Structure 1
């Protein structure tokens, strides 16, 4: 394996590195000393400085050229006004890191923290731990018995945060920014969703293992996968592309060819070589939506590609390599697919390490309003016109959106389409009560086939569910009420969905309504559960 070139990034020491007379060679100067170690060659030194220190930088550059002509010195003047101001230093280093062309495949980066003010050293630590500098910390020091020409010692520091608890606390802001980025800045209010995004942010930064996103169509799986990619890209953890594929679109020979590529003549119509999406995703992120739609043969090949980073193109005799991170999405219960034999158990085990279920819009009613504001702002930015609701119109739309009438079958796609239509029809950028009335009527018509034809729950056989003995001990009132509740449950997509329908009036008087918990406790009084009701329907 070819050894990577060593690149050191560090500040010139305005005190430690100074010296103009011949006696300067009798002193230990950390920046120059780094290039005097016989066992280690610094290919390039990115020398950072601020203020008017060009003369010192030129002197250090010349001295390094004398002792290590193979080392290239590249000076960078940063716009730091006050090297003791945390915001000033961190902002300048952040801008430098974002614009620097890191090449982690061929170069190894050492971040020198011996020179510079204490604030500079702390910021260099923070930037490295957050992967804005994709390297390791380097600390140098003079030998205890300093002699002329002795370069001293140096050490690479492991960033074990358990040893740096006080400094690690400074990362809370970075972590919060990462979470906000994954949510596109939308101030979501659903506690379960927020907790899930918080964990996904930590996993995305610390792990390259596959991530599986489950949830209904339109819940935002593809959107979240792209945000994860952009977050990792910003931290220099991925160098390649974001490659997305809906596996439901694959058929026949095209499935293997699209994923793994083919060689010329592999099958009828294969007129030339094709690299395939797995190779296109090399060093990047591959998002396979609806992965449950893949055939068993493609599943086996994908498993090999995930575990060994190599695979055979269709019709090929030689394996190719691709190092990508996998994210997958599905609206199926893959564990049931495994039991039924439609999904490989070994592949499921491999991609099931980090699994998250994205709730649909109906399960996150408290997030409808912040998403409404986000979509309006997005429409305004895209079309160059500010669009807003009248107060009455906004109140009317929110009442409908939170009611049992709003099925949100397409989840966030339905909400996005509704906002686009209303905003397009808004004269002078004002969405009126009449526009909202038309839109709610349109949505009801779109969803009408998903509702019970009569609008009433189907007949429930309570005796089959509870048994004759329990029925005999129930009052008619309780039996009739339980029948209605079970009917609503069977017509609902989730426990939360059923709870919102059943407690639509009373939930408004509660500070923190938990419809699912109320319904769960009600069913438990009769020895029933949500899962059991679905199984008996």
Structure 2
């Protein structure tokens, strides 16, 4: 069954007027012209009219009925104080879409965007694009110059049609450009990380709400915050600066003064007033790295600054205003910090609306190769000297980097330092196997020297990130580390299970060692393939 066609549009208070002289049918009048199109049968025309133009509306409705008797013209009255006020016009149209009984199963809707003020046309487009108005766009225009055809021409623009793939591809290209920018141009291969960056790009450009970036030290939180700011600046979403603060470097009264400023004489040594970094970040982005290090007083003041966009400088009783977007970074589990009483629950709830956990390098081993190339290019840019690996040396370093026993304790900072050292020592601009061997020994020594003698962290880091390890009891760490070591020494899951359950399996009719071990590892999100040698 064919659907009825319904047009929704504004009365054209200028364009729909009849000619002052001569035949009133000789001039192009867009609302009436819609009903004159031989191949565009309109069953109903919902005409939005201002009460101040009742006489014109009646004339236009009569003329529409004259040229198209099958069209039912319905007048909808409004009393806009200012038809050029965006907020007022949008509110009126939005209410119209809420009150109107759309029946998309039996009716097809067209939003006529030729009449009305430019503000009205924009609002109609926005409501159609957002699907509040389930319609296609109808655009009309007069015939070519010299033509006496008063019907003019029309076009229907369906925002969902594939004919607009070229327009969509431009948005997609811009989207991909944003993703590449957030990844510093590195062609990362890790699927989970690429999905994470895609969501961060989407959120960063859609909101000014706080963003929380968590992850181990060296996972790239600071660099990502800088990239988010640069992307928002490029899209003209922020006008102020990026202000970066490492909260671990400020304490007590210094933290309050650094963040919120102080007035002259607020404390001993306050010889002059200071605006504070929150004020400096006005209309920009404030990146608070290691936010979990803030004291309780600073947390309370920050919460007020986020919610009310005002705060008190030290020693002042006059509120200072600052409108900034907060990006917070942490390598701690803030939920655990709340449970311990070290972090405010209400502050966490406020900054945790958009939370993203960045994986460490050990969880992104498939991205090691492109990151090596990135670090070499960065070295070339910084030092003005191109350095490459010979084939054997690169293969050796990549094999070491991918080895599960290589835990990359400082993550990308370790990789950056390793490439920088090897590039600096490379004879003739070529990194050799001798240089790689020296660097591998250096890295292993630094990691081994930082481990406690009785720590199981080195074993656990081969399969788990720092955050998960930090959430485990020492009992579970010790037990899981021993299980992993047995698995390394076993040829199969069943063999490892027999070794681990050699006593308890004797009392079972059906031992099923492999299934018991699989379920135990699954409690920690580990698969046999993650640890099999």
TM-score (norm 1): 0.59
Q: Is the 8 A contact 1:141 1:154 kept in 2?
A: no
1:210 maps to which residue? 210
**Closer/same/farther in 2, CA of residues 347 and 456 from structure 1, 3 Å limit:** closer
2:121 maps to which residue? 155
Matches for 1:58-73 after TM superposition, within 5 Å: none
CA distance in structure 2 between the aligned counterparts of 1:257 and 1:210, rounded to whole angstroms: 22
- TM-superposed CA distance for 1:252, in Å, is 1.6
Matches for 1:52-451 after TM superposition, within 5 Å: 141=114, 155-157=121-123, 158-159=125-126, 160=129, 162=131, 164-165=159-160, 166=164, 167-168=167-168, 170-451=170-451
- TM-superposed CA distance for 1:259, in Å, is 0.5
Q: Is the 8 A contact 1:403 1:504 kept in 2?
A: no
Q: Is the 8 A contact 1:457 1:491 kept in 2?
A: no
- TM-superposed CA distance for 1:270, in Å, is 0.7
CA distance in structure 2 between the aligned counterparts of 1:295 and 1:203, rounded to whole angstroms: 29
CA distance in structure 1 between the aligned counterparts of 2:319 and 2:479, rounded to whole angstroms: 55
Aligned CA-pair RMSD: 3.7
- TM-superposed CA distance for 1:407, in Å, is 2.1
1:3 maps to which residue? none
Structure 1 gaps, min length 5:
1-26, 29-107, 110-138, 144-150, 460-484, 493-497, 507-519, 533-537
Q: Helix, strand or coil for the counterpart of 1:286?
A: strand
1:529 maps to which residue? 523
**Closer/same/farther in 2, CA of residues 372 and 252 from structure 1, 3 Å limit:** same
CA distance in structure 1 between the aligned counterparts of 2:329 and 2:458, rounded to whole angstroms: 33
2:89 maps to which residue? none
**Closer/same/farther in 2, CA of residues 440 and 153 from structure 1, 3 Å limit:** closer
- TM-superposed CA distance for 1:340, in Å, is 1.1
- TM-superposed CA distance for 1:526, in Å, is 4.5
CA distance in structure 2 between the aligned counterparts of 1:282 and 1:409, rounded to whole angstroms: 36
- TM-superposed CA distance for 1:370, in Å, is 0.9
- TM-superposed CA distance for 1:531, in Å, is 8.1
**Closer/same/farther in 2, CA of residues 522 and 246 from structure 1, 3 Å limit:** farther
Task: Report the count of equivalent residues.
Answer: 351
Q: Is the 8 A contact 1:221 1:358 kept in 2?
A: yes
**Closer/same/farther in 2, CA of residues 235 and 528 from structure 1, 3 Å limit:** closer
TM-score (norm 2): 0.60
Query: Where has structure 1 moved over 2 Å in runs of 4 or more?
Result: 139-143, 151-170, 449-459, 485-492, 501-506, 520-528
**Closer/same/farther in 2, CA of residues 526 and 414 from structure 1, 3 Å limit:** closer
**Closer/same/farther in 2, CA of residues 414 and 155 from structure 1, 3 Å limit:** same
CA distance in structure 1 between the aligned counterparts of 2:219 and 2:521, rounded to whole angstroms: 32
CA distance in structure 1 between the aligned counterparts of 2:452 and 2:481, rounded to whole angstroms: 11
CA distance in structure 2 between the aligned counterparts of 1:279 and 1:303, rounded to whole angstroms: 15
CA distance in structure 2 between the aligned counterparts of 1:409 and 1:458, rounded to whole angstroms: 9
Q: Is the 8 A contact 1:255 1:298 kept in 2?
A: yes
- TM-superposed CA distance for 1:489, in Å, is 3.7
Q: Is the 8 A contact 2:241 2:283 kept in 1?
A: yes
Q: Helix, strand or coil for the counterpart of 2:287?
A: strand
**Closer/same/farther in 2, CA of residues 211 and 152 from structure 1, 3 Å limit:** closer
Q: Helix, strand or coil for the counterpart of 2:122?
A: strand
Structure 2 gaps, min length 5:
1-26, 29-84, 87-111, 132-157, 460-475, 493-513, 527-533
**Closer/same/farther in 2, CA of residues 375 and 155 from structure 1, 3 Å limit:** same
Q: Is the 8 A contact 2:456 2:477 kept in 1?
A: no
- TM-superposed CA distance for 1:486, in Å, is 7.5
Q: Helix, strand or coil for the counterpart of 1:156?
A: helix
Q: Is the 8 A contact 2:115 2:121 kept in 1?
A: no
Q: Helix, strand or coil for the counterpart of 1:171?
A: helix
**Closer/same/farther in 2, CA of residues 338 and 176 from structure 1, 3 Å limit:** same
Q: Is the 8 A contact 1:283 1:324 kept in 2?
A: yes
Q: Is the 8 A contact 1:458 1:487 kept in 2?
A: no
Task: Give CA-to-partner distance per residue, 1:136-175, whole Å, 9 cap, x none.
Answer: xxx98578xxxxxxx9996334543557334445411111
**Closer/same/farther in 2, CA of residues 317 and 435 from structure 1, 3 Å limit:** same
Q: Which of 1 and 2 has greater Rg?
A: 2
Task: Give CA-to-partner distance per residue, 1:217-245, whole Å, 9 cap, x none.
Answer: 11100000000000000000000000000
CA distance in structure 2 between the aligned counterparts of 1:435 and 1:188, rounded to whole angstroms: 26
Q: Is the 8 A contact 1:380 1:387 kept in 2?
A: yes
Q: Which moved more, 1:333-342 or 1:160-169?
A: 160-169
